[in-house]
Structure 1
Amino acid sequence: MEELKHVVSAPFKKNLADSLPEKDFEFSLAFDLKWFSPKTASEVKARALEAGLLSLKDGVIVPCFDVESVRLPHAFKPPENFLELKEKPGKLGNSRRREEISFEQILDFISADTGINRQRLVSEINSMQDHLSYLVDIRIVALIVAKKFGCRIEGIIEKVSRAVLGFSY
């Protein structure tokens, strides 16, 4: 997670920006920093959105963490197999199941049920995720935060447990 945070903070640091248009973010990763192909840059963006490190609204990407607190080592460059390293824990045949419900869908559900805006939810989720040392899947943490705010999670707990654990709750 830390390496993903390093990677996604770089375009904001390079452009001295608090937010970036979606395509500028990908362009920065692929062409300015020359770290990834355009397709891989798009995949990095998708992973960061799913992990709750970024939020996307109306085509604008905003970091959900303090970019200034991230210190990039001098001449930092992610390894060539960066995305493969991120995939390994889930490569046990669960990839189809993991797509059943995304972090974004869970956020939408919680926000609709509680009336709390997504930015506040992501902030709460990131805080709890940090408190749990990133040992718990972000979707499970989202459900914990949902319960904290009185959300009725019965409608999604089945999908989340199947996606994360591989079996029903």
Structure 2
Amino acid sequence: MSERETAVSAPFRHRNADHLRQVDLIFYYTQDKKWMSLDKAKKLIAIAEKTGLIKKESTGDYSLREDLREQKIPLGFRPTDEIFVIDESETADSLEKLLDDVADASKIGKKELAGEMERIRKQFDNLICPEAAIILLAKKYHVSYDKYKADLIKRIGE
């Protein structure tokens, strides 16, 4: 588990909660553990949401990504400023990442795959969005899209 994943999952684990409000997360980071300032706590929450570690529910609460819920927090853990460094690959679009995966698995160029996506959309009279087309393309080339599924479905609904 990365340092950021550990820092983000810590308040959920220590409070044994599936959902926490933003104020609870900020209190945990700034007052309870004294790991960071208010601004840095807000920044960590924004980064965690952007990278998919936590998700903001319709109620306004945050929920932790499923695979992080059972992670152990090392005794004496204290995050460094590395948790605020965002790798470009972490913020890349899910559609783009899945297109890369399909290109790697099928040994077909991204331009050709993008053209194939457009042909798929035209077969459906452009009634499906690019997110649905990339899922169909992934299925055609037997590429797993499970790790992108939640984000793609969310984007289809928007």
TM-score by length of 1: 0.52
Alignment-derived partner of residue 148 in structure 1: 135
Structure 2 CA distance for partners of 1:149 and 1:74, relative to 1, 3 Å: farther
The size of the alignment, in residue pairs, is 102
Tell me the secondary structure at the aligned position of residue 40 of structure 2.
Answer: helix
Q: Match of 1:35, SS?
A: coil
Whole-angstrom CA distance in 1 between matches of 2:23 and 2:13: 16
**1:51 counterpart residue number:** 51
Q: Within 5 A, what are the aligned runs for 1:43-122? A: 43-57=43-57, 58-79=59-80, 81-83=81-83, 86-87=85-86
CA contact (8 A) 1:52 1:138 kept: no
CA contact (8 A) 1:54 1:61 kept: yes
Question: 1:29 deviation in Å?
Answer: 1.1
Unaligned runs of 5+ in 2: 100-130, 138-158
Residues 13, 67 of structure 1: 8 Å contact kept = no
RMSD across aligned positions (CA):
2.4
Q: Any unmatched runs of 5+ in structure 1?
A: 91-135, 151-169
In structure 2, distance between residues paired with 1:149 and 1:25: 38
- The question of whether the paired residues in 2 share the 8 Å contact of 1:21 and 1:60 is answered with yes
Q: Taking every aligned residue pair, what percent have the same amino acid on both sides?
A: 25
Matched, 1:32 2:32: yes
Which is greater in Rg?
2
Supply the distance in 2 between the matched residues of 1:140 and 1:2 (Cα, whole angstroms): 21
TM-score, structure 2 normalization: 0.56
* Aligned twin of 1:5: 5
Would the alpha carbon gap of residues 48 and 142 (structure 1) be closer, same or farther in structure 2, given more than 3 Å must change? Answer: farther
Alpha-carbon shift at residue 141 of structure 1 (Å): 3.1
